[in-house]
């Protein structure tokens, strides 16, 4: 036997020892049976029982071919001769293993080890151990260092239950032209909801800046107590929204306009999500959770990779809420999920018009999600106390076809506005996954954003490039037409978003 064969034979043989002892096998040694003494019922006397050699597993009367360990016992007998039974030809595989039986099994199988390896091979193994003693010592030293480092990390870790996750999105936007008129609803409280000419508006006309640069920084503290729940506390800082002024909602990675976090670090999310059995999950929130935060999926492939906010269905964004939220998700099957959510923007206002049941919105979305070609959802969103010009309700449909290398998806929504005509909005397009590189995505989409008395158009082509697990950048070309009464309604923007995450 060569040196390497000797090294391989040793662990195999010792594996036999473990198998023998683990299955309560005894060999040529003495086992014991416990009998009561006539002297006292509390005194136990051990009586030796000589075990008998087994040449075939079929000799054991209490071992049947259907037993889960039959094959293992058969190999121990026929290949290794390392199995013995009791004088009455029983194996008693379900009874506890005594220390005597363990010693007997170990002794029998050590004989097999010696026969398999041989004396010369044992000497060779010892020689190899001595030859590689320095390397083995180095490995032991590295293991000791690793154990010390792990102990230090455990002693000084941030938390045993909480993980810190962060992200930074930076956007460079360059307009290639000027639009005469863009209306931004600032309304009462600058809530960003649908507005009309009766609201206070800001008119942006004339030349835009040659280029703008904006950022959004996020720190998420995610805590899990059971491994399936999550308590999230999010801190966020961002610029005031200014780029993509000719669109309805600006950049996707921009929160300043609605959340009041302009260049200030603020609390943006506080919620606890948790399972309720195998098919139900719940969420309770104290900040910033509203409409699409309750849903299992927004279906369309552009929500996330797009640079403009229109890539995520904008109809979700037309409703109040955010101070308090509560929702539940019912998974009727692996494919059919119902999402329900309620949110209030005045839950902490102890006034006649405040409290949990004012300035609210509620959502129900039924999702059909598969691992195949087709995903779809139907959505209803309502407002409890919409004012003139605000959204009262929306019914929408979302759909996506996944053909493997590319996806085709989109949505359509009809929104009723208090005191105004209904408005229709829709977006659709195609996204190519792993485009010119693993993890990259190229997409083109476009459509009509929700707005009163106007049909603002947005079309975007983006290419998300994932450099590694921590960094990606996304160049994009964005066309907008605000459909206002001015002579120059449209504009074209070049944009680059850089995203860092850890």
pLDDT of residue 261: 64
Q: Encode pLDDT of 385-431 as tens digits.
A: 777 778 889 999 999 999 989 999 999 999 999 888 899 999 999 99
Q: Is residue 232 part of a domain?
A: yes
Backbone CA torsion sign across 354, 356, 357, 359: positive
Q: Which of 61, 96, 117 is the last residue of a domain?
A: 117
Find out whether 282 and 273 touch, Cβ atoms under 8 Å: yes
Q: Is residue 497 part of a domain?
A: yes
Same domain, 267 and 196: yes
- What is the Cα–Cα distance from 151 to 175, expressed in whole angstroms? 54
Q: Encode pLDDT of 362-382 as tens digits.
A: 999 999 999 889 999 999 999
List the Cα angle 117/16/63 in 5-degree steps.
140
Same domain, 192 and 90: no
Q: Considering only CA atoms, which of 92, 94, 95 is closest in space to residue 51?
A: 92
Return the percentage of the chain with pLDDT > 90, whole number.
Answer: 40
- What is the Cα–Cα distance from 174 to 494, expressed in whole angstroms? 5
> 3-state class of 458 per DSSP?
strand
Q: In terms of residue numbers, what domain contains 409?
A: 162-501
Q: Which of 117, 145, 171 is the last residue of a domain?
A: 117
Question: Which residue carries 């507005």 as its tokens?
Answer: 195
Q: Is residue 146 part of a domain?
A: no
| The two three-digit tokens of residue 434, written as one number | 């792993």
Find out whether 411 and 375 touch, Cβ atoms under 8 Å: no
Same domain, 167 and 100: no
Q: Encode pLDDT of 282-332 as tens digits.
A: 999 998 888 899 999 999 999 999 999 999 999 998 887 788 999 999 999
Same domain, 255 and 374: yes
Q: Is residue 312 part of a domain?
A: yes
Q: Considering only CA atoms, which of 91, 110, 3 is closest in space to residue 51?
A: 91
Find out whether 201 and 184 touch, Cβ atoms under 8 Å: yes
How far is residue 399 from each of residues 47, 57, 402, measured CA to CA in Å? 78, 62, 10
| The two three-digit tokens of residue 274, written as one number | 């948790």
Same domain, 450 and 320: yes
Q: Is residue 129 part of a domain?
A: no
Total domain count, the chain: 2
Same domain, 106 and 188: no
Q: Is residue 86 part of a domain?
A: yes
- What is the Cα–Cα distance from 267 to 218, expressed in whole angstroms? 10
Same domain, 182 and 41: no
- What is the Cα–Cα distance from 400 to 427, expressed in whole angstroms? 12
In what helix (H) or strand (E) does residue 136 lie, and over which residues does it extend?
Answer: helix 133-156
Question: Which residue carries 């005191």 as its tokens?
Answer: 419
Better-predicted residue by pLDDT, 496 or 136:
496
Same domain, 313 and 222: yes
Strands 201-203 and 212-223, how do they pair?
A: unpaired
Q: Which of 81, 98, 117 is the last residue of a domain?
A: 117
What pTM was estimated for this model as a whole? 0.67
Same domain, 189 and 49: no
E-strand spans in 123-211?
A: 162-175, 183-185, 201-203
Q: Considering only CA atoms, which of 77, 95, 128, 106 is closest in space to residue 15?
A: 106
Same domain, 90 and 169: no
Same domain, 39 and 168: no
Same domain, 285 and 390: yes
């Amino acid at each position: 036997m060569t040196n390497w064969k000797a090294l391989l034979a040793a662990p195999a043989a010792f594996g036999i020892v473990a198998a023998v002892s683990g299955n309560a096998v005894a060999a040529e040694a003495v086992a014991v049976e416990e009998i009561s003494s006539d002297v006292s019922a509390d005194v136990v006397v051990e009586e030796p029982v000589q075990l008998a050699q087994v040449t075939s597993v079929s000799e054991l009367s209490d071992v049947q071919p259907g037993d889960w360990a039959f094959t293992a016992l058969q190999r121990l007998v026929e290949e290794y001769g390392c199995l013995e039974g009791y004088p009455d030809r029983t194996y008693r595989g379900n009874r506890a293993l005594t220390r005597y039986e363990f010693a007997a099994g170990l002794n029998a199988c050590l004989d097999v080890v010696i026969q398999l390896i041989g004396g010369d091979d044992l000497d060779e193994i010892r020689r190899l151990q001595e030859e590689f003693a320095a390397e083995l010592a180095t490995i032991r030293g590295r293991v000791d260092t690793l154990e010390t480092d792990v102990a230090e990390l455990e002693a000084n870790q941030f938390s045993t239950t909480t993980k810190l996750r962060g992200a930074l999105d930076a956007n460079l936007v360059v307009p290639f032209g000027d639009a005469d008129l863009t209306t931004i609803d600032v309304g009462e409280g600058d809530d960003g909801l649908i507005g009309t000419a009766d609201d206070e508006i800001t008119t942006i006309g004339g030349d835009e800046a040659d280029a703008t640069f904006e950022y959004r920084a996020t720190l998420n503290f995610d805590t899990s107590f059971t491994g399936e729940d999550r308590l999230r506390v999010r801190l966020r800082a961002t610029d005031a929204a200014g780029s993509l002024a000719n669109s309805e909602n600006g950049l996707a990675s921009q929160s300043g306009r609605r959340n009041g976090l302009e260049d200030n670090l603020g609390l943006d999310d506080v919620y606890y999500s948790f399972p309720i059995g195998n098919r139900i999950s719940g969420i309770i929130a104290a900040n910033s959770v509203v409409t699409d935060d309750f849903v299992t999926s927004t279906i369309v492939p552009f929500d996330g990779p797009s640079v403009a906010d229109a890539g995520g269905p904008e109809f979700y964004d037309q409703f109040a809420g955010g101070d308090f939220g509560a929702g539940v998700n019912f998974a009727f099957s692996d494919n059919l999920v119902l999402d329900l959510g309620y949110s209030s923007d005045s839950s902490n206002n102890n006034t006649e018009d405040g409290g949990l049941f004012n300035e609210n919105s509620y959502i129900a979305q039924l999702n059909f999600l598969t691992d195949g070609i087709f995903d779809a959802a139907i959505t209803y969103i309502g407002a409890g106390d919409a004012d003139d010009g605000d959204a009262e309700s929306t019914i929408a449909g979302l759909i996506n076809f996944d053909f493997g290398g590319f996806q085709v998806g989109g949505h359509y929504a009809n929104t009723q506005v208090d005191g105004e005509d209904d408005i229709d909005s829709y977006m659709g397009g195609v996204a190519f996954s792993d485009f010119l590189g693993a993890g990259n995505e190229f997409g083109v989409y476009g459509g009509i954003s929700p707005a009163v008395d106007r049909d603002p158009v947005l079309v975007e082509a983006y290419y998300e490039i994932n450099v590694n697990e921590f960094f990606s950048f996304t160049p994009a070309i964005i066309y907008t037409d605000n459909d206002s009464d001015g002579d120059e309604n449209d504009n074209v923007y070049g944009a680059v978003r850089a995203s860092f995450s850890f």
